[in-house]
Amino acid sequence: MRKLQPTTLFGIVTLTTISLVIFLGPWIYTQPANAVDFALASQAPSFAHPFGTNTLGQDQLARVMLGGRVSLTVGLTAMAMAVSIGTLIGAIAGFYGGLIGAILMRFTDLFLSLPQLPLSLLVIYLFGDSARAALGPQNGIFALVVLVIGGFNWMSVARLVWAGFLATRDRTFMQAVQALGAKPRRLIWHHLLPNVLGPVIVAATLAVGNAVLTEATLSFLGLGFPPDVPTWGRMLYTAQDYLDSAPHMAIFPGAAIFLTVLSINFIGDGLRDKLDVN
């Protein structure tokens, strides 16, 4: 059995630590995330406020933990959506082939050719108000951001599944199963999908990091969550005007994004080596 690479171990330890701090930290560190106290505005890191405070006197550590829960939830939900869409389209295209497969793959190529970030910004700008009105200011933008990120990141999974199905469907064991009368549903779920599961797992892992980064980019550009939801990208957006006077406002959320995405990518690389995904 191959040993884990140092970078993979670093990714696992770092991501585990970040997850524990984000999800269990508020039970230990009980400072409120949205309490405003102008007397504490823009304070540097201290024992009372390890990450300092922002211009409203809000505790940055509490906001980083709250924002991390939002950012990781967006990443995981968008990943699940992207993997589901990509697996469905890739499986249908790879199993049936012919005209159906050609149409679905050209549809995939079309999405690959689209400029993702400008289109994401346009969709959120056009439909942001409608989503907020329908589902509320937080739930509406959450659903819209997840739909945008997941809807523009399923193509790599689709191509992986399509290629895996093409490479597997004509093998001897598949011909034997078909000769025994197995139906298409059983062929896909019990024989084809397990053979492409490795690449899909790796792609799903990397998709989480990409989704976290995309959400941070959207929030940094001012089209993500509302100001009272302190995602890491939104915190950077707020901090950009105070880099000289209060650099800690940008350092800690920026470091959280960097370490989270880096550790996820390291884990994805380790899974690729472990599962022998070429």
Q: Which domains are seen in the chain, by residue range?
A: 6-15+53-274 (1.10.3720.10)
**Residues 121-172: pLDDT tens digits?**
889 888 888 888 888 878 888 899 999 999 999 998 999 899 888 877 777 6
Residues in contact with 42: Cβ distance below 8 Å, sequence separation at least 6, in sequence order: 52, 53, 54, 55, 242, 245, 246, 249
User: With pLDDT > 90 as the criterion, what percentage of the chain qualifies?
Assistant: 31
What gap in Å lies between CA 179 and CA 174, rounded to an integer?
A: 9
* pLDDT at residue number 277: 47
Q: What is the pTM of this model?
A: 0.84
Residues in contact with 14: Cβ distance below 8 Å, sequence separation at least 6, in sequence order: 259, 260, 262, 263
What gap in Å lies between CA 98 and CA 108, rounded to an integer?
A: 15
Q: What is the mean pLDDT of the chain?
A: 86
Rounded mean pLDDT, 118-122: 88
